[in-house]
Structure formats: structure tokens, C-alpha cells
Amino acid sequence: MSDTVTLSRADYEALLDRLEEAEDNRRLDQIEDPQRSTGNARDDYLPIEAVERLCAGEHPVRVWRKHRGLTREALAAAAGVAPSYLTEIETRKKPGSFDALAKLAAALKISLDDIAAWTVPTG
């Protein structure tokens, strides 16, 4: 008997999204208030690990979201975009409209340049 499971690409990606969301939620349990800024100037800067993830090609919205300690649902709600659309932006399936990226930047309390500078079209 085989221990192999075969999934469609869509099911596999959905499973990965759910796993990441569960990890985000677990991290949130360890953070007192993820949406409140500490007022610390360092909140505006990314640690070297996050910069390395940007350099490796991870989407800047995802990097900043995780740095701020937000789940996809929390950021989507704060920005007024659909969680599924946020997922498509973070996974680079869609580039995101100017309006959506501006709303996400505002919700993350960063400049739109902090997103655009690292958003490289794939193709």
C-alpha cells in the first residue's frame, strides 16, 4: 500500500494557503496587539531576514504583512479588499490594481513605494 497522495495544483495551493494562515494565526496568539504600532521608529524598517525574503522574490505585501503581524484576513479587511484578491497579489497571480496596492500600503502604514520598488512583473 502506498503512502502517496495526489492532489490537483489548485488543491495543493489551497492547502499551502491554509497552512500559512494557521501559522499566521499561531503567531498572532503570541503578539499582544498586532494592529497597534509601538511608536518605535524601527516599525518603519524591515529586519535583515525580511529584506532577504524581498531579495529572494517574496512579494512585498506579504513581507510587510508578516512583519506587522497581520493575517491575510485582517489586512484584507483593513484595506477593504477581498482576501482572495490579496492572496492573488501576494502569490503574484495578479499584479494588483493601483487602488488596491494603495489601500494595502495605507493599511500596512507604509509608502506605496515600499511595495512598488519590490514588485517586479513576472512573465
Show the CA angle centred on residue 75, arms to residues 70 and 80, nearest 5°.
170
pLDDT in tens, 26-47: 655 544 444 444 444 456 788 9
**Helix crossing, 72-79 with 98-108: angle to 10°?**
110
pTM for the predicted model, two decimal places: 0.65
Q: What Cα–Cα distance (Å) separates residue 25 from each residue in 30, 34, 64?
A: 9, 11, 16
% of the chain residues with pLDDT over 90: 50
Amino acid (1-letter code) at residue 29: D
Query: d(Cα 5, Cα 1) in Å, to the nearest integer?
Result: 12
